[in-house]
Structure formats: C-alpha cells, structure tokens
Structure 1
Amino acid sequence: MPVDASTFLTMTGVVIALIVALGGLLAWSVRRLDSRFERVEMRVESGFARVDAELRDVRQDLGGVRKDVGDLAIAVARLEGPRPRLELR
C-alpha cells in the first residue's frame, strides 16, 4: 500500500509532536519530583538540627547531674565519717 507524501509528512509530524510532548511531560515530572525531594530534605535537615540541639541540651544537663552526683557522694562520705580503725569494747 503506497503512502503519499502528505500522509507521510502528517504522520511524521504527529510522531515528532508525541515525542516532544512526552519529553515535556518527563521534564515536568522530574522538576516536580525535585521540588518535592527538596522540601522533604529541608524538613529532614530541620528535624536533625532540632535533635542535635536537644542532644546538646541533654549533654549539658548530664554533665551537671554528674557533678551533682559527685558532690553528693562526697557529702555522704563526710556525713558517715571515717571508718573506725580500732574498736575497743
């Protein structure tokens, strides 16, 4: 079945238009996914920043607690006094 020139040019134009449309759709999808990934990445990074700040606060509090426990142990030792070395009955 022979194809005349106008049908060939029309079909070629349709195929090219479909390829361009699909390429545009792909580019649009990629840009949309990139923007979503960027938003998710920003949320994750802000979450990590909050966790880091919270861990810094916990470490500071833990350092204070360690110092307080050390001071408490010294105070208890002073209250108990030295162990008797020689007991007379």
Structure 2
Amino acid sequence: MTVSIELVTMIVTVATTLLGLAAGFGWMITRTDARFERFEQRMDARFEKFEQRMDARFEKVGVEFDRVDARFDRLEGEVKGLRSELGEVKIAIARLEGPAPRLLISR
C-alpha cells in the first residue's frame, strides 16, 4: 500500500493546525486566568479596606447606640418615678377639693 505525498502533507498540515489551535487556546486560557487572578487580588484588597472601614463605623454606631440605650433606660426609670408621683399628686388634689358635686340634687 502506497500513500501519496499529498495525503501525507495533508495529514501533517491538519495535525499541526490542530496542535497550533490547542496550544493557542491553552495560552489564551492561561493569560485569562492570570488576568482574573490579578483582578481578584485587587478586588480582595479593596474590599478588605472597605470591610475594615465599615467595621470601624459599625463599632462607633454600636457604642453610640449603647450610650443612647442607657439614656433611654434611665429615662424609663424616671418616667416610672414621675408616674407614681403624679398618682400621689392626683390623690392629694382630690382630697383638697373634696368629693365631686352631684349632678342631681336630692330634695
């Protein structure tokens, strides 16, 4: 069985073309992966700075909230005290005024 030189040339050409395409595709994927890796590193660094800044801000807000909450707790105690004192004042005023006048006078 003899193979013509044109057939051998065609097979070698197709094989080298496919090999070249595979190598080019591999090179492209490698460059793309490297580029995405650099992008991820930049974004991770940026988000790390942002996260630290936001944590600091949330910590400040938490401290401020605790301070305001303590003030509201103190105010709640004062309101309860005022409420009991107001009840005592109402009772004292009612004693000073005497009983309420009747609407119907008995004859």
TM-score bucket (shorter structure): 0.7 to 0.9
- Secondary structure of the structure 1 residue equivalent to 2:29: helix
Name the stretch that deviates more: 39-48 or 53-62.
53-62
- Identify the residue that residue 4 of structure 1 maps to in structure 2: none
* Same amino acid, percent of matched pairs: 16
Larger radius of gyration: 2
Unaligned runs of 5+ in 2: 87-107
- Identify the residue that residue 43 of structure 2 maps to in structure 1: 51
- Identify the residue that residue 15 of structure 2 maps to in structure 1: 23
RMSD of equivalent CA atoms: 2.3
**TM-score normalised per structure 1:** 0.73
Name the stretch that deviates more: 54-63 or 36-45.
54-63
Q: CA deviation at 1:67?
A: 1.1
**TM-score normalised per structure 2:** 0.62
- Structure 2 distance, partners of 1:80, 1:15, is 93
- Structure 1 distance, partners of 2:73, 2:13, is 89
